[in-house]
Amino acid sequence: MDQIWIEKRKLMFIYTNGCSIASGYGLDTNYTKILSEQLNSGYTTDSRPAVGNDWIFHKTLESLININPNPDLVIIQWSSPNRRVHQDFDGKEWYVNTHDHTHLYPKFEPMGSKHTLHYIYCMQEWLVKRGINYLFFDYFGLDLSIQILNVYKEINWDRFIDLKRDFFVQNGLTWDNLGHPNMEGLNYIVNKIGEKLGHNFDLPIKKNKLM
């Protein structure tokens, strides 16, 4: 767990979770660190490469229950819907997706997006019940067919930041074609988070063709 705790919690405190997009895979920093510097806040993040939304959901619940007082802000980057965590009889965990450990069967669509939508709803309600400010973003996108589900109408989409992998790849905000953000990509994420929070960070982005 990457973290900076503030003594006696005198300043703002942020909790984040997600996959490699949130952990800063391939870089020596991540958007949580950069955001905490902009807000002069403490933070902790459980983000980990390759994890699915089941892992993110369960880990976030376990961690937040143990953080006292509550964080001032929770930011969840939901991972690819096809991912899931698998446990062997001996307790070893495998992170399953369409590229790794496929013999353990990843989630296919639209089931993956349906399950993710339920995780999102449950997390939303848990945070609202405790009065915790939050922001979500689904970097990899969800299957459009889930819009007919009843729970879809219960999601507060105003709490979502519009950050999608295709946009990042098309605009040179990644260091690979899988969508992992480069430094400019991280700055873009933090700028968009700032907008949602009413801040204008204006972190540098050299690209001048943002679509």
How confident is the model over 169-193, as pLDDT tens digits?
999 999 999 999 999 999 999 999 9
CB 155 within 8 A of CB 117: yes
The fraction of the chain above a pLDDT of 90, given in percent, is: 86
125-130 mean pLDDT: 98
The predicted-structure confidence for 86-117, as pLDDT tens digits, reads as follows 999 999 999 998 888 988 889 999 999 999 99
Top pLDDT among 112 and 209 is at 112
Which pLDDT score is estimated for 191? 97
pTM: 0.93
Average pLDDT over residues 36-46: 95
H helix intervals, the chain: 20-23, 31-39, 53-65, 111-129, 165-170, 183-197
**Domain boundaries defined on the chain:** 2-197
Q: What are phi and psi of 78, to 5 degrees?
A: -75, 140
- pLDDT attached to residue 13: 95
pLDDT tens digits for 1-33? 566 555 545 579 999 999 999 999 999 999 999
- Angstrom CA distances, 193 to 47, 112, 152, stand at 17, 26, 23
pLDDT at 129 over 80: yes
What's the pLDDT at 151? 98
- Cα separation, 153 vs 80, in Å, equals 21
Q: How high is the pLDDT of residue 44?
A: 96
**Rounded average pLDDT over 56-61:** 98
Average model confidence (pLDDT) across the chain: 93
Distance CA 197, CA 62 (A): 26
The pLDDT tens digits of the residues spanning 25-39 come to: 999 999 999 999 999
Confidence band of 49 (pLDDT split at 50, 70, 90): very high
Residue 206: pLDDT band (50, 70, 90) is: confident
**2-197 topology per CATH:** Rossmann fold (3.40.50)
Mean pLDDT of 117-133: 98
